[in-house]
């Protein structure tokens, strides 16, 4: 039988298929072409710029990482009643000391524009004697309606009214709604805390006019807490009527603002962090490369000028 012609082979290195052709074909899609090392020239300037570049990238990376880990507090304002499930009530916490008034004389009265008029409120409250029974510390938790009104500490609920009640006092705490244990939010949640009126006229009444601002705090999990900030203005006076001097009291007159403040915990999204890091690395290397190229070009031009002078 006659000899058959040899068949061509399509595998790598076979006849009719130059060695490395598949690698060349695959390399067409490589947008990051490689330069052989023997065609590059290292310089001391390039080494210095490279080290500075890496340190700069590390600094920016750590800065961005800190910002990514840290929780950001964003606030916004809007008109609404945030706590609609409260039944139109606001919880109040009051802690006040009257060092020159007996506990049996101290009482809390509550009034508002919805017709509420309560004298001698005693629920969830207690009186602690001070100075061997001479004074009194009143601590109470109660609720008020979300309408303008007042609550006041006075002797109105006492069975026998004293002739000269001493209303000098120290307010330890007056807060509304939930207590926010958040360090990043600095608000007037206890604006009257620490108010000292011990040096005032013992027979004077005290008016604290409060503007209450609803406040919502939402953490990263979506859980919301409802609290209230407030601003305060106060005046001190001795009141008289046609029958003589009016028995003094400590008044807290309040009104609600329609504006709600909302604080929201947010953390930078992962994709934004990655984008920023890529921009830092790419931008730094690009700028460093341009700087190194300019320095190298200038250096080579200077060398040529020096050689020209020598000849």
Model pLDDT for residues 36-52, shown as the tens digit of each residue? 776 667 778 888 888 88
Distance CA 195, CA 169 (A): 8
Whether 21 shows a pLDDT value over 60: the answer reads no
Q: Please state, for a pLDDT cut of 70, what percent of the chain lies above it.
A: 86
Average pLDDT over residues 145-168: 93
Tokens of 120: 């001698």
Distance CA 110, CA 142 (A): 10
216 by Cβ neighbours in 10 Å (0-12 / 13-18 / 19+) ranks as: buried
User: Where are the alpha helices (H) located in 5-128, listed in sequence order?
Assistant: 21-27, 44-69
pLDDT tier at 2, thresholds 50, 70, 90: very low
Mean pLDDT of the chain: 85
More confident residue, 39 or 143: 143
Write down the pLDDT at residue 26: 59
Q: What is the DSSP letter of 49?
A: H
In 3D space, the residue among 137, 129, 133 whose CA is nearest the CA of residue 170 turns out to be 137
250 by Cβ neighbours in 10 Å (0-12 / 13-18 / 19+) ranks as: buried
Beta strands in 103-221 (DSSP E): 107-112, 117-118, 125-130, 135-145, 149-154, 170-177, 195-196, 205-218
pLDDT tier at 219, thresholds 50, 70, 90: confident
Average pLDDT over residues 248-275: 90
Distance CA 166, CA 205 (A): 10
Lowest-confidence pick of 67-71, 230-234, 292-296 = 67-71
- Rg value, the chain, Cα: 39
């Amino acid at each position: 039988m006659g000899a058959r012609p040899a068949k061509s082979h399509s595998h790598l290195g076979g006849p009719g298929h130059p060695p490395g052709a598949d690698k060349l074909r695959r390399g067409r899609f490589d947008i990051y072409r490689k330069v052989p090392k023997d065609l590059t020239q290292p310089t001391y300037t390039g080494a210095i710029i490279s080290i500075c570049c890496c340190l700069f990238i590390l600094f920016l990376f750590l800065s961005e990482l800190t910002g990514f880990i840290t929780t950001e507090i964003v606030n916004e304002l809007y008109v609404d009643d945030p706590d609609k499930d409260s039944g139109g009530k606001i919880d109040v916490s009051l802690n006040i000391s009257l060092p020159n008034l007996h506990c049996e004389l101290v009482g809390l009265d509550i009034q508002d524009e919805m017709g509420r008029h309560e004298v001698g409120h005693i629920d969830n409250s207690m009186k602690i004697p001070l100075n061997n029974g001479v004074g009194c510390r009143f601590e109470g938790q109660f609720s008020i309606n979300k309408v303008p009104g007042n609550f006041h500490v006075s002797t109105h609920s006492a069975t026998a009214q004293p002739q000269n009640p001493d209303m000098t006092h120290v307010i330890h705490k007056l807060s509304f709604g939930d207590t926010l244990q958040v360090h990043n939010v600095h608000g007037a949640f206890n604006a009257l805390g620490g108010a000292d009126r011990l040096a005032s006229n013992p027979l004077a009444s005290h008016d604290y006019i409060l503007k209450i601002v609803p406040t919502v705090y939402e953490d990263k999990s979506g859980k919301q807490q409802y609290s209230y900030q407030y601003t305060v203005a106060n005046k001190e006076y001795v009141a008289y009527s046609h029958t003589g001097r009016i028995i003094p009291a400590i008044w807290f007159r309040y009104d609600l603002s329609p504006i709600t403040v909302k604080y929201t915990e947010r953390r930078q999204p992962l994709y934004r962090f990655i984008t920023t890091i890529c921009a830092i690395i790419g931008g730094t290397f690009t700028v460093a490369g341009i700087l190194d190229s300019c320095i190298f070009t200038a250096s080579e031009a200077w060398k040529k000028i020096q050689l020209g002078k020598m000849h």
